[in-house]
Amino acid sequence: MSVRINPSILSADFVNLERDLGVISSADFAHIDVMDNHFVPNLTFGPQMVGRLQDVSPIPLDVHLMIENPERWAPTYAELGAFSVTFHAESTTDPVALARRLRAIGARAGLAIKPGTDIEPYLDLLPEFDQILVMTVEPGFGGQSFIADVMPKLDALAAANTRLGLDVWLQVDGGITLDTIVIAAEHGANTFVAGSSVYNAPDRDQAILELRHAATSASVHRH
């Protein structure tokens, strides 16, 4: 059972992003939080910046779009070469159509859901996606506390993967630490975004290694 550790550069130094991408090269993907100050009450960066991050990153980019009207912008990130592009169910009218456009460009397609959004309507759509991002905080800011109440959504997604014979990656994002990563892995998560717990650690490689070990042990224990 392989797990993926995706540090979020939301907790990096925004005037030293090339340097701060370089210190997470032992991770699987760099998680890039795009916020538009409309879908969430915070603003980060757009395609121009992400294109340059793509140029200099030692690892592939996992782009998380917290924006309104993702139909307008998500394909642009796929064209820039992002490995995966994840948009929110709450700001999309036709998630399947958008996922198909992203896949046609060559990116993996991800669907994200906020803590208050029900997963049930999306379970039958799993074949259309490569990953589902279950938010474990309200989107918008790093450094918040993990919301364990959303774990039943992971249980439902893991069961749907089994029922449909799929391996759609199950991603969690928000408040992931050495303790909470175990809880999420026990509920079937296999792709873990960690911002502050990686970037605030004195040794980023060590933090990534410890998160990976904790998640792997919990996954093995689960199966």
Which residues, other chains included, contact 79 with Cβ-Cβ below 8 Å and sequence gap of 6+? 105
Least distance (Å) between residue 134 CB and ligand 5RP: 12
Enumerate binding residues for ligand 5RP (CB under 6 A): 8, 10-11, 31, 33, 64, 66, 137, 139-144, 173-176, 193-197
223 is in an annotated binding site: no
Asked if residue 106 belongs to a known ligand binding site, the reply is: no
* C-beta separation of 150 from 159 below 8 A: no
> Are 13 and 51 contacting, i.e. CB atoms less than 8 angstroms apart?
no
Binding of Fe ion by 20 (CB under 5 A): no
CB atoms within 10 A of CB 11: 17
- For tokens 């939080």, what's the residue? 33
**First CA to last CA across the chain, in angstroms?**
9
Element (H, E) at 200: none
* From 20, 28, 33, 62, the catalytic residue: 33
Q: Residue 91 and residue 68: Cα distance in Å, rounded?
A: 5
Query: Was 221 annotated as part of a binding site?
Result: no
Judged by CB, which is closer to ligand 5RP: 130, or 173? 173
143 annotated among ligand-binding-site residues: yes
Choosing from 28, 36, 62, 173, the residue that interacts with Fe ion (CB under 5 A) is 173
Q: Let me know if 173 is a catalytic residue.
A: yes
Distance CA 22, CA 79 (A): 23
Which among 28, 36, 62, 173 is annotated as catalytic?
A: 173
DSSP conformational letter for 129: -
Helices within 16-131 (DSSP H only) = 17-22, 47-56, 70-79, 95-105
Of residues 24 and 160, the one with the C-beta less far from ligand 5RP: 24
Work out whether 28 is an interface residue with Fe ion (CB under 5 A). Answer: no
Binder of residue 153, out of Fe ion, ligand 5RP, none (CB less than 5 to 8 A by kind): none
142 in a labelled binding site: yes
Q: Which residues are known to be catalytic?
A: 33, 173
Q: Which residues are annotated as part of the binding site?
A: 8, 31, 33, 64, 140-143, 173-175, 195-196
Residues that bind Fe ion in the complex, under the rule CB under 5 A: 33, 64, 173
Q: Which residues are annotated as part of the binding site for substrate?
A: 8, 64, 140-143, 173-175, 195-196
